[in-house]
Every structure is written in structure tokens, then in C-alpha cells.
Structure 1
């Protein structure tokens, strides 16, 4: 079993029996889900189990638990995928679901562990993602985890009848991208986000 450990957290593939009622409550919490899914689709235990099993079977989506080292407690989830096997790119989404662990900088650590997982275990060349421009905490967490802002999609989301931009972020595996290539992206960040 793959387990990657950081300073305060570790990640490992989540077990189906860990999807308890308290964990599933994260996926029906309006505050936690405000930015988590673009489709606003309801995530049930059955749909989550089906997605985990299908992703694993197809080898393109992998769901990991985020655990507090000290308490050996599941505090969130990390989803790698869908993985594009031709280009070796993937999305990486994290969720700290346990409120007692929010606001402590742990999301950035979880994302760093996800970067390590993607690059060293799955040989992903590039990770990508996008978030609501108003989701400042998430943007900052990804930036602290070594991601860079690559662009902005004007009015991508419609929130309460108003347009909201999508901030595009990426993380580059140094095995496949030179420091010069990465620095060029870093130097353009301010064009897309203040």
C-alpha cells in the first residue's frame, strides 16, 4: 500500500469502510462543498464508492485519505485524476473535511503530498486545476504547495446570477520541465491574479 508522509499528515488510498456517516457528512456540508464540485452534483456514499471503484478499475482516478499523523485520524480526501495517460497530466483535488483541522495550513501540506504522489508514483508530468476566483483560501493553499497561476477564464462560473472567473493553476514535474520553463510561468502569474 502506498503511503506518503509529511510533517503533520500522511496520505494513503482510502478504504471503503472509512466512508463513515461522519466522513460522508463532509460531502453534504454546504460550506465545504461550496467550491468542491462544479456540477453541484450530490455525492452520496453509493456514488462515491462507485466512483472510487470505477476510477481504480480504469486506472485513471485514485482517491486517497488525508490523515493526521498524531491522531491517526482521517481528516480529508485527495483525488488524483482523471489521469490523461497519453499526455500524463491530471487534476488534483483536495478536501479538508474535519472542521477542527481547517485554517491550520494543512491543505497546502496535503497538496504537497499529492504532488509527490503524482510525480513519483504515477509519473505525472503536469498537474492542473481551476478554482473560483473568490476561493482565495484554496488558491493560496495551492500556491504555497508549489503550484503556479497559469491563466484565468473570464466569467467561467455563474454564481448567484453574476459571472465569476476561474483561476487556472498548474504544477510542473521537474523531471519533465526545466527551471527556465517553470520560471517563465512564474513570471507571468501577476497578469492573471492580484
Structure 2
């Protein structure tokens, strides 16, 4: 089981008992899932537990719950996944389900922490991430953590019935801020 710490957060391998009604409500909330691919499905306790089982059984995926250090409250998840052991790269994604904590720098803190861990502990040579062009909070968090925009895909995806572009970002070990 993986456990990491930063100033305000603890990151732990997500367990089945972390899947609560609150957790499920995040995934079904259109404000929270607007820029996530999970928005195409309705989620329930069992579908979320099955997802956690699959992630924990796959050695190329690290699904970590994000917990407030002060009170151990689960506030979201961060995943370093699609790890390619030959090319030594992976993809980072996250969600902060507690909307009262948006804009407080927790995403940047989490991105930095898990990115450093991916380089220092897993030995990755590169980590990538993507976000929709309108998801400025996510874009800013990745940029503050040292990620570079490496590409922009025009009219890449549909969000709220509109075609939007997507940013592709990457970071190398010496670029983490």
C-alpha cells in the first residue's frame, strides 16, 4: 500500500471502504465531472468499488485517495496510471470532489507530490497529463507544478454539446517546481 504526505494532504492507495455515498456523489455531480470522462456514466457504490478493485489489481495504475492531513477527510483522488515500464512514462490525473476546497492550491500540491514520487520512487523519466481548454483551474495547477504545454488539440472533444480543444502537458524530472 502506497502512502505519501505533503504539507496539507496524505495520499493513500484507495480502498473499498473509501467508496462512500459522498465519493459517489462527486462522480455524479455535473460541476465536478464536467471535464472528466466519467461524466458519461451514472455511478453507484458498486461501480465505484469495481473501479477501485480494477485499479488496485493493475500494476500500471496507482489510484490514491487524497485525505486532509488535519482530519483524515477524503477530499478527492489522484491517479498516476498508464505506466509504461519500457518507456518509463505515466499519465497523471486528479479530481478534488469537495468543491469548497477548489482554488486553495491543493491540486498543485498533490500534482507536485505525486509527480516527484513518480520520478524518485517509480523511476519514471516523463509524466504526462491532459485537460480541456476551458478547465483553467487544472491547467494552472499543472503549470504551477512545472508541467509544460506540449500540444494543443483543436476541437478535440465534446463538452456540454460544444467542441473544445485539449491541452497535452508533460514534465521531466528536473522540471518539478
TM-score, reference length from structure 2: 0.89
1:43-86 Cα deviation digits (max 9, x unpaired): 43323322332233230112101111112211110111121222
Structure 1 match to 2:73: 73
Could you say which structure has the larger radius of gyration?
Answer: 1
Write the distance in 1 (CA, Å) between the matches of 2:3 and 2:155. 39
User: Are the equivalent residues in 1 in contact too, given 2:24–2:48 (CA < 8 A)?
Assistant: no
Q: Which residue of 1 aligns with 2:120?
A: 120
Other structure's SS at 1:75 match: strand
- Is 2:153 aligned against 1:153? yes
Residues in 2 aligned to 1:84 and 1:115: alpha-carbon distance in whole angstroms: 15
Q: Structure 1 residues 39 and 96, CA, compared in 2 at 3 Å: closer, same or farther? A: closer
The secondary structure found in structure 1 opposite 2:40 is coil
Query: Is 2:139 the counterpart of 1:139?
Result: yes
Change (3 A) 1:70 1:118: same
Aligned-residue Cα RMSD (Å) equals: 1.8
Give the Cα–Cα distance (whole angstroms) in 2 for the partners of residues 45 and 76 of structure 1: 16
The answer to whether the 8 Å contact 1:4/1:12 transfers is: yes
Question: Relative to structure 1, is the Cα distance of residues 34 and 12 closer, same or farther in structure 2, using a 3 angstrom cutoff?
Answer: same
Give the drift of 1:18. Answer: 1.2
Distance 1:41 1:93 in 2: 18
SS at match of 2:66: strand
1:58–1:71 CA distance, 2 compared to 1 (3 A): closer
Report the Cα distance in structure 2 between the residues aligned to 1:39 and 1:67, rounded to whole angstroms: 23
In the comparison of the two structures, how many residue pairs are matched?
175
Counterpart in 2 of 1:110? 110
The equivalent residue for 1:52 is: 52
Q: CA deviation at 1:33?
A: 0.2
Instruction: Return the alpha-carbon distance in structure 2 between the equivalents of residues 83 and 93 of structure 1.
Output: 13
Q: Given that residues 128 and 171 in structure 2 are in contact (C-alpha distance below 8 angstroms), is that contact kept between their aligned partners in structure 1?
A: yes
Q: Distance in 1 between matches of 2:92 and 2:22?
A: 23
